[in-house]
Amino acid sequence: MATYFELSWSILSSIGLFVTFVGIWAIFITRPSPLTYIPIVVSVSCAIANGACYYAFYTDHATRNRAAASGIADIFWLIQEAGLSFYSYQILIHTLRDTSRRAFLAVFWFFMVALLSLRVAILVFRVLEINSGSSTLNSTGPYQHQVGHLHVGYFTTIALVETWSSFFLIRLLHNAYRVSPKLSSTRHVFRFLLRTTEIRVASLCFIGITRAVTYSWQVTSQSATTVAGQIDRFAYTMECLFPLVMLIDILASKKFSAGTQLESFSAFDPAASPIRYRNIHTHTEPLPPVPRHTAWISARRGYGST
C-alpha cells in the first residue's frame, strides 16, 4: 500500500486545505457573502475528494469501503468542479434582467443538470469496477473506456458553461464601462473588472478544454502513467489552485474600489454625494440610466466584488 504523503493526492488535498484557510482569513477582512463562500466550499470539496480517492484506489481495505470512498470522491469532485462556475453565477443573477436573465438561467441550469448526470454515471461505473475486483492502478479496467468518454463530455460541459457565463458577464461589464462617465473613476473600476473577468474565465475554460483532451487518452483508473495522464494531473492541480484566483479577485476588487467609492456613487446619484463634490460639473453628456448601474453597485457592495 502506497504511503499517502508520497503521492500527488496528498499534495492536492493539502492545497485544498490551505486555500480553505486562506478563504476563511479573507472572510474576516471582507464582508461575508455567498461570493466569498464559493472558494471555501470548492476547496473543502477538493481536500475531501482527493483524500477519498487515495482511500478508494491506493489502499487494500474492504471492497465495500473502497467503493463507498470512490462514490464520495466523485460527489465532492462534482461540487469542486461545478462549484467554480457559481462564482460568475452569483454575480449575474443580481445584475441581469428580463430576457437576458431567463436565457442565462435556462442554459446554465441545463448545463448543471448535464454535469450532474455525467458525474453520476462516472460514479456508477467506478463503483462497479471496484466491486468487480478488477480495478488496478496500472492496468485498464473493464469500464475505463466508458469512464474516459464520460469524462470528455463532463469537462467539455464545464468549458461550455464557463463560456456561456463569460459571454453575459463580459458583455455586462463592457456595456457598463462603455456608458460610464469618461471622467469618472467608475470607468476605471469597470475596466479593471473587465480585465480580471476575461483572465479568470479564459483560464477556467482552458483548464476544462485541456482536461477534456487529456482524459480521452487515460488508460488507467487513477494513476498518471502516460504523458497525457501527467498533463491531466497538472491541469487538475491548476484547477485546485483556481480558488486562489477568486480570492485575489475579491480582495483586489475591494481594494481597488475603496478609494473611488465616493466618486463612483456621486457619478450615479449626485444628491447622495458629499457637499464638496456637488458643484463639480464634469459631464458633457446626460448621465446613464440609474436603475441598471444602481443594481450593479448594490450587488458589488453586497458581495465584496464583481
Q: What is the pLDDT of residue 79?
A: 95
For position 208, which CATH number holds? 1.20.1070
All three cell numbers of 20: 480553505
All 3 cell numbers of residue 216?
480521452
Q: Specify the pLDDT at position 255.
A: 64
What pLDDT, on the 0 to 100 scale, is given for residue 265?
A: 41
Q: Which tens digits make up the pLDDT trace of 268-293? A: 443 433 333 334 343 444 444 444 44
CA distance 151 to 119: 8
For residues 208 and 166, the answer to whether their CB atoms sit within 8 Å is no
Helices 227-258 & 34-57 angle (0-180, nearest 10):
160
Q: Record the pTM.
A: 0.77
Q: Which residue ranges in the chain fall short of pLDDT 50?
A: 183, 262-294, 296-297, 301, 303-306
Q: What is the pLDDT of residue 252?
A: 75
The reported pLDDT for the residue numbered 285 is: 45
Number of domains in the chain: 1
pLDDT for 270? 39
Tens of pLDDT, residue by residue over 186-245, are: 556 666 666 667 777 777 788 888 888 887 777 666 777 788 888 888 989 999 999 998
Contacts 24+ apart (CB under 8 A), 1-4: 1/58, 1/59, 1/60, 2/58, 4/54, 4/58
Contact 20, 47 (CB under 8 A): yes
d(Cα 300, Cα 306) in Å, to the nearest integer?
6
**Confidence at residue 12, expressed as pLDDT on a 0 to 100 scale:** 94
- Give the range of the structural domain holding residue 72, as residue numbers without chain letter: 4-303
Q: What is the pLDDT of residue 189?
A: 60
Q: What is the crossing angle of helices 34-57 and 63-83, to 10°?
A: 150
Q: How far apart are CA 86 and CA 162, in angstroms?
A: 9
* pLDDT for the residue 224: 76
Cell of 224: 498518471
What is the grid cell recorded at 204? 477556467
